[in-house]
């Protein structure tokens, strides 16, 4: 056996172990110091329900696929947050209408006029405020698609500055002080929505 081949065989397990450690560190990044896990796929978590949908725990995720009342439905955090990092893992059907509402100023009234809404809506008629955008504030062109797969939102809010990352890519950045503090929500509007992890770190 030549020396390069022996060297390659030596490196292969080292690379594999390094890659595994890297993946583990990413996967566990939201369970470290300061992070609070609000939903982990093992239980429904502790939320205020606003509106009615058939929220349930199914196959390691909190799922809704039908409204059982008028208007949209939300799982709203019981605490208000000002500055924070938020991690949300979600699956959306192609026709899903959902979103993450931030700093809601008039709970339990939840609208895109009294919260910042980070949208999940691939089929929105005006796609500039569709998936990845902040409705009424930050357009996203071209709009990324979230339908039919697992996705990750990483949202950072600090003072007037809000940054939205979808699957590792920045889709929206906002400087605005209209809403300073409030709970956040997971919305169900239509289609199929699944949330398997939600974690927040106050800043």
Separation of alpha carbons 197 and 147, rounded Å? 17
Per-residue pLDDT tens, the chain, 203 aa: give them.
444 444 344 334 434 433 433 333 344 457 678 999 999 989 889 999 999 999 999 999 999 999 998 889 999 999 999 999 999 999 999 999 999 999 999 999 999 999 999 999 999 999 999 999 999 999 999 999 999 999 999 999 999 999 999 999 999 999 999 999 999 999 999 999 999 999 999 99
Phi, psi dihedrals of residue 176, rounded to the nearest 5°: -160, 140
DSSP conformation class of 103: S
- Please confirm whether the linkage preceding 34 is cis (ω < 30° from 0): no
Q: Which pLDDT belongs to residue 29?
A: 59
Please tell me what DSSP assigns to residue 81: B
- Confidence at residue 148, expressed as pLDDT on a 0 to 100 scale: 98
- b/e for 78-105, b at 16 or more Cβ within 10 A? eeebeebbbbbbbbbbeebbbbbbbbbb
- Distances in Å between the Cα of 152 and the Cα atoms of 7, 71, 77, 104, 169 are 38, 26, 19, 21, 10
The domain made up of 33-202 is a member of CATH 1.10.10.10: no
The domain locations on the chain are: 1-31, 33-202
């Amino acid at each position: 056996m030549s020396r390069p081949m022996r060297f390659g065989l030596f490196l292969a397990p080292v690379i594999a172990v390094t890659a595994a450690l890297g993946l583990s560190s990413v996967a566990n990044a939201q369970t470290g110091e300061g992070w609070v896990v609000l939903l982990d796929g093992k239980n429904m978590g502790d939320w205020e329900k606003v509106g009615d949908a058939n929220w349930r725990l199914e196959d390691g995720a909190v799922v809704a696929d039908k409204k059982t009342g008028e208007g949209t439905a939300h799982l709203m955090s019981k605490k208000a947050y000002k500055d924070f990092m938020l991690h949300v893992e979600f699956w959306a059907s192609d026709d899903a209408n959902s979103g993450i509402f931030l700093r809601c100023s008039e709970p339990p009234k939840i609208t895109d006029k009294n919260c910042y809404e980070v949208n999940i809506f691939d089929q929105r008629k005006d796609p500039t405020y569709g998936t990845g955008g902040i409705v009424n504030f930050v357009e996203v062109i071209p709009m990324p698609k979230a339908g039919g797969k697992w996705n990750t939102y990483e949202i950072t809010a600090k003072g007037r500055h809000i940054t939205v990352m979808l699957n590792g890519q920045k889709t929206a950045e906002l400087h605005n002080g209209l809403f300073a503090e409030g709970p956040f929500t997971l919305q169900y509007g239509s289609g199929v929505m699944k949330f398997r992890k939600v974690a927040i770190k106050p800043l």
